[in-house]
Amino acid sequence: MTRNYLLDLNVLIALVDSGHQHFQTAQDWFISSGKDHVGLCPLTEAGFLRITTNPAYRPAPRTIEEAIAILQVLKGHPRFGYWEIKESWVDLTARFAVRIRGHQQVTDAYLLGLAIKENGVLVTFDKGIQYMAGAEFNKNVLLLQ
């Protein structure tokens, strides 16, 4: 059975940046996930552009053109797909909103809600997302360690 994975921003960056502390973990997971589908969405795309082109990110940040080119390469990969977001944040997070613990989880909650809606799995390094998902949606989170 093929699974559908949605990458959170940190996993996306780690997957393509050999200097990232979790690069090897992300690479190992991607390779081991075989033929499963991997998704990006507008939030992860925008976050990738925002972070990797920021001069504070690393000594030689990417240009916007370089970052866009990386996203284009990923989108051209046969295992990658694009997940549209049509629902509001409130609608996508309603089933677990009581477990959202603050402003730093707003984007993570939206991604988790999208993964749940699409019967997919949010891939993350963030242990807090497991708590947010709770037992009901634990199957929709994959914590890489």
Structure tokens at 57: 């990110």
Which one of 3.40.50.12500, 3.40.50.1010, 3.10.580.10, 3.40.50.300 gives the CATH number of domain 4-143?
A: 3.40.50.1010
Please report the pLDDT score of residue 60 as a whole number.
Answer: 79
For residues 124 and 15, what is the distance between their CA atoms, to the nearest angstrom?
11
Please report the pLDDT score of residue 1 as a whole number.
Answer: 79
What is the C-alpha radius of gyration for the chain, rounded to an integer number of angstroms? 15
Q: Where are the domains of the chain?
A: 4-143
Angle CA 73–112–50, to nearest 5: 45
* Average model confidence (pLDDT) across the chain: 95
Top-confidence residue, 1 or 110: 110
Backbone angles phi, psi at 127, to 5 degrees: -65, -25
